[in-house]
Amino acid sequence: MEPVKIGLLGLGTVGGGTYNVLQRNAEEIARRAGRDIIVSHASVRNPARVEALGLRDVRLSEDPAAVVDDPEIEVVVELLGGTEPALSLILRALENGKHVVTANKALIAMHGNEIFAAAHRRGVMVAFEAAVAGGIPIIKSVREGLAGNEIRWVAGIINGTGNFILSEMRDHGRDFADVLAEAQRLGYAEADPTFDVEGVDAAHKLTILAAIAFGMPLHFEDVYTEGISGVTREDVGYAEQLGYRIKHLAIARRAEGRVELRVHPTLVPEKRLIAHVDGVMNAVQIQADALGPTLYYGPGAGAEPTASAVVADLVDVVRTLTSDPDNRVPHLAFKPDQVVDLPIQPMEEIETAYYLRLQAVDRPGVMAQVSAIMGDLDISMEAILQKEPAAGETTVPLIMLTRRVREQRINEAIRRFGELDAIVGEIQRIRVETLG
């Protein structure tokens, strides 16, 4: 059979990795796909990349639109990242009747509904395995492997940079900024690293996971997003003394006809496997009704791990090139007419446990005032720690772990603590999830 000719938009880290994997494993890939897959046209901004990658027999264009409009190309692989020109190029490729493979999580999270509708109209596929958790085949697992289940919740460490920072803070007592600079040097961080540390990147990926887990449209704008820049070394240490680790979790949970979508630092019991996912590794835990809990672990970024997912998508697309569009695996796991919008749970109404850290004046009666507020709001305590005052200090840290309670009541407790003369400085609040 004739080889399938693909066009690469972008020859950066992932584009280069994809080219290398396609070259090195060409024979095995063809045995799986049933046809050779060759890169026949690529767009490149930096000509030095062409030499560095040893590109052979590939037509090169500076303008990515030339690839998208090339009549020989059957599949366009978009690895530019960002919203524009990626969105216009993908829509143009679909309009030209080409299948698309992309690693662009921001684009799918924000414009996926429009992109999938355009693909559906033209009877072509958009594959996006590399958009979530890099090389881990999480989209395929959820969309196909768990197709017999009702998925209850998904909780993931899906930003490697954030996980690397929290792991280094815990293991080596390093400063936040120092670790972030190292992650940038290693090429894991986003072009704008606030996307990593403030949870935007994880929110993009969570949006996609929730849509395929629950059969709902993509709702990026409704994800509650809180970053890790407010987590201190002390919090990491106190959490450990209480038997927890702090992880930046992305959580999607379906309950009573609503969906919670949230990304925030979270205390996870030390005994959970996911609490031991360290460094830049990613992991996604899924609770499904028939299967129970499963955990998917692996590299969430990097040239070849991400290329592994891109090439798997290419093989999928090539296998289905001749199949009837209505009999392919749907983009969002459920048949397009079965994708149902679900209301998003407001954060004030979620229920979970909480870690609170207060700085209190060291004098009798303060604990009684704090306890009175907790009692009045019917908030049960799980544990309390009071630390020694630091040398020369007249205030002490008070650390409390609550039982499960509605977030609204914790917010009210924090407001009332703030009114006490004996409580000084910022009050730290970190959610706790047992993931049981």
Asked if 220 and 110 touch (Cβ cutoff 8 Å), the reply is yes
Select the residue interacting with ligand HSE from 16, 137, 298, 300 (CB under 6 A). Answer: 300
79: left (phi over 0), alpha (psi -120 to 50) or beta: alpha
Asked if 265 and 246 touch (Cβ cutoff 8 Å), the reply is yes
Q: Of 130 and 314, which CB lies nearer to ligand HSE in the complex structure?
A: 130
CB of 8 to ligand HSE, least distance (A): 18
| Under rule CB under 6 A, residue 298 binds ligand HSE | no
Residue 4 has which token pair? 């399938």
CB of 167 to ligand HSE, least distance (A): 13
The one catalytic residue among 205, 247, 271, 387 = 205
| Under rule CB under 6 A, residue 304 binds ligand HSE | no
Binding pattern for the stretch 197-236 against ligand HSE, x by CB under 6 A and - elsewhere: ----x-----------------------------------
Interface region with ligand HSE, contact rule CB under 6 A, candidates 13-21, 39-47, 185-193, 211-219: 185-193
Q: Of 70 and 196, which CB lies nearer to ligand HSE in the complex structure?
A: 196
- Distance between CA 72 and CA 36 in Å, rounded? 15
Interface region with ligand HSE, contact rule CB under 6 A, candidates 2-10, 91-99, 108-116, 183-191: 183-191
Residue in this structure with the two tokens 């604990």, named with its chain if needed: 367
205 is a catalytic site residue? yes
- Per-residue burial over 275-288, b if 16 or more Cβ lie within 10 Å, else e, is bebbebbbbbbbbb
Q: Of 135 and 215, which CB lies nearer to ligand HSE in the complex structure?
A: 135
Select the residue interacting with ligand HSE from 33, 189, 284, 413 (CB under 6 A). Answer: 189
Interhelix angle 303-319/26-33, nearest 10 degrees: 30
- Distance between CA 436 and CA 434 in Å, rounded? 5
**Of 285, 130, 287, 109, residue with least CA distance to 203:** 109
Binding pattern for the stretch 329-368 against ligand HSE, x by CB under 6 A and - elsewhere: ----------------------------------------
Interface region with ligand HSE, contact rule CB under 6 A, candidates 18-26, 189-197, 235-243, 335-343: 189-197
Asked if 74 and 99 touch (Cβ cutoff 8 Å), the reply is yes
Residue 324 has which token pair? 């009837």
Interacting residues of 185 by C-beta distance below 8 A, sequence separation 6+ = none
Contacting ligand HSE within 120-179 (CB under 6 A): 134, 159-161
Q: Of 163 and 428, which CB lies nearer to ligand HSE in the complex structure?
A: 163
Sign of CA dihedral 41, 46, 51, 53: negative
**Of 347, 346, 325, residue with least CA distance to 336:** 325
Active-site annotation, residues: 205
Chain positions contacting ligand HSE, by CB under 6 A? 134, 159-161, 188-190, 196, 201, 300-301
